[in-house]
């Protein structure tokens, strides 16, 4: 029969094991939270000169689209991952410093077949984390409406609750005065965002987006000039359904 000393020794060993496991869990969780997606780290590491050149190329493509609409009334565009990330790195903070809420910054994207990955730095009370989203982007049923399906959100490798991020997405879209509403699809939140170009007058868009496709490293868009065939209903911005 074991004496009191032996039992206390077992309790002490068990306590040490629990403490060691708890410490290990904290270390693993911290490492997982601090994990940075590979595409994000690679995009941030690009030389500033390359990012600036890529951003300027995207701007030239946009000018070409406007000219194509004016001359042919139809347009096609291909934006590369490098162009978008270059623009996000150089033009976004300079030309549109308030397009994102202040606690979200340094966004970058990755284009994979039928999916958009986006990551940015998110200032939290516990520190700055790299938050990433997996999105599916399609045309909505209404004219010039994007259906953006949220497939998942992570801080490093750790899944995040979607509620705070959905609120931040709503805030970011509202800052740009775009109508947004939320629906559900197979349990995933879907943002329906109505878009219009900068030349719109009295609610009529000067272009109609007819095609969007995400391929490896590329975003393909196509459309035509003129207002939508069906009038777009006025829709107030709303947050995700609670």
Q: Which helix (H) or strand (E) holds 96?
A: none
What is the Cβ-side half-sphere exposure of residue 140, based on CA atoms within 13 angstroms?
20
CA distance 214 to 45: 24
Mean pLDDT lowest among 40-44, 132-136, 165-169, 196-200? 196-200
Q: Where are the domains of the chain?
A: 1-33, 36-225
Provide the 3-class DSSP secondary structure of residue 198. coil
The more confident residue out of 141 and 8 is 141
Q: What predicted TM-score, i.e. pTM, was given to this entire model?
A: 0.75
- Per-residue pLDDT reduced to its tens digit, 24-73: 334 333 444 567 888 999 999 999 999 999 999 999 998 888 888 777 78
Lowest mean pLDDT among 12-16, 67-71, 118-122, 192-196: 12-16
Quickly state the pLDDT bin for 190 (edges 50, 70, 90): very high
Count of residues for the chain?
A: 242
| CA-wise closest residue to 182 among 239, 242, 116 | 239
Q: What is the mean pLDDT of the chain?
A: 78
């Amino acid at each position: 029969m074991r004496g009191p000393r032996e039992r206390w020794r077992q309790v002490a060993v068990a306590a040490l094991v629990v403490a060691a496991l708890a410490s290990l869990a904290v270390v693993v969780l911290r490492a997982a939270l601090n994990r940075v997606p590979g595409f994000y780290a690679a995009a941030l590491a690009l030389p500033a000169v390359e990012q600036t050149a890529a951003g300027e190329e995207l701007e030239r493509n946009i000018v070409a689209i406007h000219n194509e609409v004016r001359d042919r009334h139809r347009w096609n565009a291909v934006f590369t991952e490098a162009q978008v990330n270059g623009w996000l790195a150089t033009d976004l903070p300079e030309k549109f410093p308030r397009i994102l809420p202040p606690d979200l910054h340094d966004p970058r994207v990755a284009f994979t077949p039928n999916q958009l990955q986006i990551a940015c730095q998110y200032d939290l009370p516990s520190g700055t984390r790299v938050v990433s989203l997996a999105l599916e982007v399609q045309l909505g049923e209404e004219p010039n409406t994007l259906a953006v399906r949220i497939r998942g959100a992570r801080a490093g490798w750790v899944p995040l609750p979607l509620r705070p991020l959905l609120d931040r997405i709503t805030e970011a879209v509202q800052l740009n005065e775009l109508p947004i509403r939320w629906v559900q699809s197979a349990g995933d939140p879907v943002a329906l965002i109505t878009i219009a170009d900068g030349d719109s007058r009295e609610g009529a868009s000067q272009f109609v987006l007819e095609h969007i496709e995400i391929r490896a490293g590329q975003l393909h868009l196509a459309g035509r000039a003129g207002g939508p065939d069906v009038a777009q209903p006025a829709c107030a911005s709303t947050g995700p359904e609670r």
